[in-house]
Structure 1
Amino acid sequence: MGIFICQKKYILDFLAEIGMVDCKPADTPMIPNQRLYIEDKAKVADQGQYQRIVGKLIYLAHTRPDIAHFVGVVSQFMHQPRQHHMDAVWRIIRYLKGTAGGGVLFQKNNHVEAQIFIDTCYGGEKGDRKSTSGYFALVGGNLVTWKSKKQKVVTLSSDEAEF
């Protein structure tokens, strides 16, 4: 027993709004090991459409930690979206189609132990070589906060990235 926060109706309405109700679901929100960066010669995507869709994905990420990192990745290209960025957004949407009933469950447990897990991807961005750090925190076994953020400077070692 517990509280389950789900935005299934929002996702289904979103799919209908963008004409993807009948799309084929994807197993993962992003292609494994896919690196997104700005290619100057790549085909430009519709910036207004990109910003509207990514904005809705940002809203969904508040109750869908499984897409939070990937939405953060595609949101880095809001001002210069290319077609391969839009393709990554469509992939996230296709993943949501297959997992529309997902969300966050808060359960009563017999403890209130706090746990925090942290990781860093050292120099993982092809375009600027900046590291991405992330964390999530559990209280009583329930997810209470999470974050993924690109660091502001280029680090020279994995130790420096994690610090």
Structure 2
Amino acid sequence: MASLPPRKKALGSKWVYKIKYHSDGTIERLKARLVVFGNHQIEGIDYTETFAPVAKMVTVRTFLSTATSKNWELHQMDVHNAFLHGDLHEEDLGVLKYFLGIEVARSPHGLFLCQRKYALDIISEVGLLGAKPAGSPIEQNHRLAHAKGELLAKPESYRRLMGRLIYLAVTRLDLSYSVHVLSQFMQHPKHEHWDATIRVVRYLKGAPGHGILLRSDSDLSLQGWCDSDWVACPLTRRSLTGWLVFLGQSPISWKTKKQPTISRSSTEAEYRYMAYITCELEVVLYLPNYENVSDLDNIDLHVAYNMRQYDDRFEQFKLQIARMERNLPAFSAHIGITPPSPPPLM
């Protein structure tokens, strides 16, 4: 036993037991691990930042989309080791069918990714298997930021459910906005926020098997679509940015994000999201799959905007576009009030 440092508190722990399965559903082995109650830590008191050395899902989806387009074989591996400096023992589990809670189905049309089992587990956990499905995940013109109800007696239930919905959005583009809105209230959730989260679960009840299709006939043209909503947050008055990136006809990256600073005009908000989507395109381009940029057929950026004024910030954005066009010969930007429609998801 060791003494605690001054002004520090001890965290509890528990044993977690898990059954690990083979790809055919049979039991491989039983696992047990002692874990610390990290959820009892408070930001700014027990920690200041977090870091997890895991791959971004954008990287995973980009790799799978490329493999599908090039008709590569996909196998899944299991590494029998949980320590950074231990010996690695890899096992081939066969053709990729299920990984990280994501179900994979391959057909002549492409690779379909969904989290049906995970979604049904969420619905079952909340007790809504017999509930009537909702037509949309969140109400239009909601006022959740101005909720006046009482705080939840057990906010841990809200945080657990939101954590599961955040991971479900890995294959559900339709949850991006609602999950973004509801995750802002995880620290002090109220009854109105819980009811809105239950609505999301009821929406899942209508189609738990929805997902994304990475098409096999898709080319390697990179397209980005973005838009913003000026001063969308009624509390902070910050603007909301949304983007969607396609590799050919396959969606690989999407996000709804509140801008970090207040924009003094809708024009300034437009400039900011232009920069965000440009950076996201560059991230995809610098993945190992595309070290040779000539592998990409085309790189397009589509921007929807409503410019009411023109100033030097637009010139700064044009300089950024010019830099990408200079470094990437296949890159081109299309900026207009009425952009073409994005490709279908299915």
Pairing partner for 2:233 from 104, 120, 125 = 125
Query: Quick one: which of 136, 160, 164 aligns to 1:56?
Result: 164
1:157 is the counterpart of 2:265? yes
Aligned to 2:124: 16
User: Out of 116, 121, 130, which is 2:224 matched to?
Assistant: 116
Aligned residue number for residue 110 of structure 2: 2
Q: Does 1:91 align with 2:178?
A: no
> Which residue number corresponds to residue 43 of structure 1?
150
Q: Shift of residue 110 of structure 1?
A: 5.0
- The answer to whether the aligner puts 1:80 opposite 2:195 as a matched pair is no
Query: Which among 8, 25, 32 is matched to residue 140 of structure 2?
Result: 32
Contact 1:8–1:100 (CA<8 Å) still a contact in 2? yes
Name the SS for the 2:255 alignment partner. strand
Where structure 2 has 5 or more consecutive residues not aligned to the other structure, the ranges are 1-108, 272-346
Shift of 1:111: 2.4
Partner of 2:212, secondary structure, is strand
Cα shift at 1:140: 1.1
List per-residue Cα deviations over 1:54-107 (Å, max 9, x = no partner): 000001001111101210110011101111111110111110010111001111
TM-fit CA distance, 1:161: 0.9
Q: Deviations over 1:118-156 (max 9, x none)?
A: 110101112221111111100111101011111122211
Match of 2:215 among 107, 119, 127: 107
TM-score (normalizing by structure 2):
0.45
Deviation at 1:38?
A: 4.7
Runs (4+) of structure 1 exceeding 3 A deviation are none
In the aligned structure 1, how far is the partner of 2:248 from the partner of 2:260? 33
Q: Which residue identity lines up with residue 151 of structure 1 in the other structure?
A: Q
Deviation at 1:35, TM superposition (A): 3.3
Q: CA deviation at 1:109?
A: 2.2
Q: Which amino acid aligns with 1:112?
A: L
Percent same amino acid at aligned positions? 40
- What residue identity is the alignment partner of 1:133? T
Shift of 1:43: 1.3
Alpha-carbon deviation of 1:20? 1.1
TM-score (norm 1): 0.94
Larger radius of gyration: 2
CA distance in 2, matches of 1:62, 1:147: 10
> Is the contact made by 1:133 and 1:151 (CA closer than 8 Å) also made in structure 2?
yes
Q: Is the 8 A contact 2:218 2:250 kept in 1?
A: no
Kept in 2, the 8 Å contact 1:117–1:136? The answer is: yes
Distance 1:90 1:26 in 2: 10
Tell me how far apart the structure 1 counterparts of residues 117 and 170 of structure 2 sit (CA, whole Å).
Answer: 15
1:145 is matched with which residue: 253, 275, 288?
253
Once the two structures are overlaid, the 10-residue window that deviates more, 41-50 or 142-151, is 41-50
Aligned partners of 2:218 and 2:169: how far apart in 1? 28
